[in-house]
Amino acid sequence: MHDLIAVTTSLVMPTHTGTEALTFLLRWVHFLAGITWIGLLYFFNLVNVPFMKQVDAGMKPKVFQYMTLPTLQLFRWSALITVFVGFWYWAQVFVAGDAQRMGVSPLSTIGFFLLVWIVSWGILFFVISKAPSGYVLGLITTVVVIAAGYLFLNYTPVGRDDNHVLSIGVGGGMGIIMLFNVWGIIWPNQKKIILGTLAGNPPANAAVLARQAFLASRTNFFLSVPLLFFMASSSHYGIFGS
């Protein structure tokens, strides 16, 4: 009888509070959307760019209409969901949790996080708009991201000893830059090029728009590597704190 009770108990589903269920859901939505976003990012950079160089001019409108445009829609919305849900999870579970233990408001760290990384993107947006060489952009991006990460790690009001707050704060900050690149440069530029081409009237500055979108996409491609590292480090490698 004792063994039967033990087996029966082991088969009972675990109970969760509403908050626990919500955080579990947020985490999995973040994972699934993130896999979609990064997977499409790699597709565009590693497959689509060399493929489009080989496509005949007469075939490009069909490729734009039936492959590029639908894929960009999935790409931009998966990026938004990934960052929005991940930000919600980080702010509610880790930042708010630390703030509650400290008896302070979590809004200071949340606001500081957004300020640091949105300003960082603004700098990169200005640089990308000038369509510099890839090496120049890469150097400036490296400096800006390191400076932003340093500011967040050393001056965030809440969670300065919490690896989850800090590691996600750095990786997620890169995610903010990448999201704004998608919605602020890649999508609007590609939309103008694609819709203009399909209408038979491509924009006069199509080459400049394409160059800017390419640079933003390549920036995202390279930032995705440290982003994934810091996201994984939040739980699997205590790089910044306990």
In a domain, 68, yes or no: yes
**In the chain, how many domains are there?**
1
In a domain, 7, yes or no: no
**Residue range(s) defining the domain that contains residue 130:** 16-236
In a domain, 205, yes or no: yes
Is 105 a residue whose pLDDT tops 60? yes
Contact 119, 176 (CB under 8 A): no
pLDDT value of position 74:
97
Per-residue model confidence as pLDDT tens digits over 134-192: 999 999 999 999 999 999 999 999 988 899 999 999 999 999 999 999 999 999 999 99
For residue 220, the one-letter residue type is N
In a domain, 93, yes or no: yes
In a domain, 35, yes or no: yes
The Cα–Cα gap between 133 and 136 comes to 5
Per-residue model confidence as pLDDT tens digits over 10-54: 555 556 676 778 888 999 999 999 999 999 999 999 999 999 889
In a domain, 9, yes or no: no
In a domain, 10, yes or no: no
More confident residue, 78 or 161: 78
More confident residue, 78 or 16: 78
